[in-house]
Amino acid sequence: MRRSAFYWFLIAIPLLFACRFPAGRPTSSAAATPASPPAKMSQATETSASASSTPPLASGWIGFAGCSFTNNAVKGYQALGGKRFWDPIPPYRGGRVTVWAKDLTNQNRYWQGFDSALQTYSGTSIIWWQLCNSPDDDEETLYQDALRVLDEIHRRVPGASIYVSAQHAFSDGNVCRLDKADGPARMQKLADRLVKEGVARAGPVMGPLTGNQTTDGCHANQEGMNLLGQQLLAFFGESSTALSTPTPGVLNESNSRLTLYEIDQAKHPQAVCNDGSTPVFYYRRGSGDGANKWVFWLKGGGGCIDAQSCAGREHELTSSEGLPQSKRGEGILSHLPEQNPDFYNWNHVLMHYCTSDSWSGARQDNLNEMNWYFRGHYALNAIVDATMDENIVGSPTLSQATHILFTGSSAGAHGLYYNIDRLAQTLPWADVRGVADAGLGFMANPELLSVSEQRKKSQWKTWNPILDESCLAANSAPPENCLETHLLVNDGHIATPVFARADLFDPLALENNQLDPRNPAHRPLIQTFTETIADILKRQNGAFGTAAHQHVMLETPEFHSYQVEGLTFAQVLGNWYFKRNAPTVVIETEGR
């Protein structure tokens, strides 16, 4: 759920146990996409294996296409112990049928995410496509678009069995605000037609969900995800014996996955998630010349300040309960040199965000009306400390690090700005630097200034945050101004080198300013916003400014694919970090 505070930038996401890779999790693959598409499966061939006589499921990994509903179902499947599906794919958010069909190249973020997963999960033999409604398109357009997508899946995954399901339905008359009342029924009709025509197989029926099983009337909460996950388990099964043997010639799973670890709760009793559960992180050991170099990524996910604003937050943003045992890293956490050329073999740490306070809270008591804690400052300290504990992560630890790169996206970028100087001071033996992705929010709409000021006061009161010491010394009255990251940057409070990435048309930033690019009356304020962001970036030693209308990019496939002046985020960051004789500040002008 999106938040309205100016600096809350959401990103589109655990069991507390001793962590190890589950048997048969994925290996990486460098399989190339075929140069030309094979003919679509004939009606006779596919119909013989359709819903009327469902064949035994093939062995191998199960890939998927769809939207955020699909990601939620897969999260539920994995939380219940399922081991066959790819990990959730963040770029799938908004993945309606028509947007998958609009552009069949990897310029389309949906196919880019699909291909990235396909390269990681060697032996994918089944694709499950959940049809997400495009409410403004007629049935024939949807059908033709669906055929185009199915043909493209067959081209990219020759010989795969493709199962289709409609988006989940609702049982209590609830209508998702993103859809129309007939959305689930339209998608079920489309799925039935595709199966009848012999171009796909019938997948599991998803849902129905009650309104109480959603976070916002649309997306499943933990209870809803468990229901959807159980439906996937019942249809596709938990595991496959074919998954236990690594693919020859590629990295083993221990090199491609990040594993779940807990902090030492006895050592850090104040470090808890909103619900009191134990903070966790995902970790993959570095190798070669990266064995003593570390990348930390502070995950984002917005925040909240009271019962009303916290009520709709997804379970995984407030707890460590129910997460999978391992995850696949993207972008700056990728283990693939073609995607992450400078940092692929470093130690990678994904810091799970579950405190709703931009990694800053130090509130001693709980919020009585909710029985919630805001302890992000302590959670961050505990995770960093855990990586220095040989009993938790093995050897070598962070204590032997020569280089440490702290990074963060959205609320994680705010947390990075609040904490980076203190972290650098506590880790004096290493070269410490930072990367902030989508962390330069500010209020450009003068009509909302009073609302923004009041919200800052509420954040200060609720979170009791620990912020940048230099800023607090200069702003003792009012100290809540130090929540504004653009002030930290503009006024020179951050001493540690930090690379900044921001989008000049960040959709969440514009929404937080209540600015609509389609409204001509808003264009002067939007121009002010874009010019201000560009001006801040120009004054940095290292920066990547995009006009992609995309909120975050650091831990997405766009990290290595989206280009400005022929350079990617990954390349410009590498130029800055390694002091190469190449551009270190690149800002897109097209579309401004």
Name which of 563, 270, 551, 335 is nearest 438 in CA terms. 551
Look at phi and psi of residue 279 and say left if phi exceeds 0, alpha if psi is from -120 to 50, else beta.
Answer: beta
Residue 196 sits in the same domain as residue 324: no
Domain count of the chain?
2
Are 80 and 197 contained in the same domain?
Answer: yes
- What pLDDT does 59 receive? 65
Q: Where does a domain end: 220, 243, 266?
A: 243
| 194 and 322 within one domain | no
Give how far Cα 514 sits from Cα of 1, 410, 575, Å.
16, 18, 36
- Does some domain include residue 364? yes
Q: Could you tell me if 409 and 262 lie in one domain? A: yes
- pLDDT value of position 280: 97
CATH number for the domain that contains residue 270: 3.40.50
In a domain, 461, yes or no: yes
Same domain flag for 467 and 510 = yes
Same domain (yes/no): 161, 269: no
Q: What is the pLDDT of residues 225-236, one digit of tens each?
A: 999 999 999 998
> Which single residue is written with the structure tokens 């001493």?
495
Instruction: Please check whether residues 218 and 325 belong to one and the same domain.
Output: no
361 forms beta bridges with: 465
Return the pLDDT at 517: 82
The residues, any chain, with a CB within 8 Å of residue 85's CB and separated by 6 or more, are 61, 62, 63, 64, 74, 77, 78, 128, 232, 236
Asked whether residue 209 falls in the same domain as residue 262, the answer is no
Is 153 within the bounds of a domain? Answer: yes
Give me the residue label for tokens 């010639």: 249
286-316 core/surface letters (b: 16 or more CB in 10 A; e: else): beeebbbbbbbbbbbbbbbbeeebbebbbbb
Q: Assess whether 285 and 224 both reside in one domain.
A: no
Predicted pLDDT of residue 373 = 95
Which residues, given as ranges, of the chain have pLDDT below 50? 1-55, 240-255, 592
Residue 527 lies in a domain: yes
Residues 152, 147: Cα–Cα separation, whole Å: 9
Both 404 and 545 in one domain: the answer is yes
Q: Is 248 a member of any domain?
A: no
Domain boundary among 243, 269, 304: 243
Residue 19 in any domain: the answer is no
Domain-located, residue 34: no
Over residues 27-66, the pLDDT tens digits come to 333 333 322 222 333 332 233 233 333 445 556 789 999 9
Q: Which of 243, 277, 310 is the last residue of a domain?
A: 243
Residue ranges of alpha helices (H) inside 394-448 are 411-426
Query: The domain containing residue 414 runs over which residues?
Result: 257-587
Residue at 3 is within a domain: no
Residue 240 pLDDT: 47
CATH code at position 77 = 3.40.50.1110
**Residues 343 and 197 placed together within one structural domain of the fold:** no
Same structural domain, 412 and 304: yes
Cα diameter, the chain? 75
